[in-house]
Structure 1
Amino acid sequence: MKRPSYRHAIAWLAHNDDTQWLNDEDPIESVSTALVADLFGVDVERVTRDLRRFIKRTAKDARSAS
């Protein structure tokens, strides 16, 4: 069995969780985000920041690939 990683959790959230409510100011108020924060011992704000960064980076990569 593969060991879970924080990076994999962020990618999973970006691809599978409902991130339509994501904006640039407020911390994410989702159970999934809170679970990732608890499991990896980080603040919800860090998960929010990393999730936003991941989504922006993958969107940028997708635009450049087009």
Structure 2
Amino acid sequence: MSDGRVRANVRPGATVSVVQKADQATGRLTKGVVAQLLTNSPTHPHGIKVRLTSGVVGRVKTVHDEPAPSG
């Protein structure tokens, strides 16, 4: 697993775990596939903000090394 605070680690099509704004207090993670990167800076202390293919927007906590599911 890679660090979600570094933009170079996060690519469209990657499988990631994100925390949504509403879940920040609980730290609940949502797993999905990156559709779009929303953070432009090379790093962010709370995680790179992304939009998943499901439409969920959140900050990446971990980037999974497993390949993204096809389909």
With the length of structure 1 as denominator, give the TM-score of the two structures.
0.27
Find the structure with the greater CA-based Rg: 1
Structure number with higher strand proportion? 2
Higher relative contact order (CA 8 A, sep 6+): 2
Structure number with higher helix proportion? 1
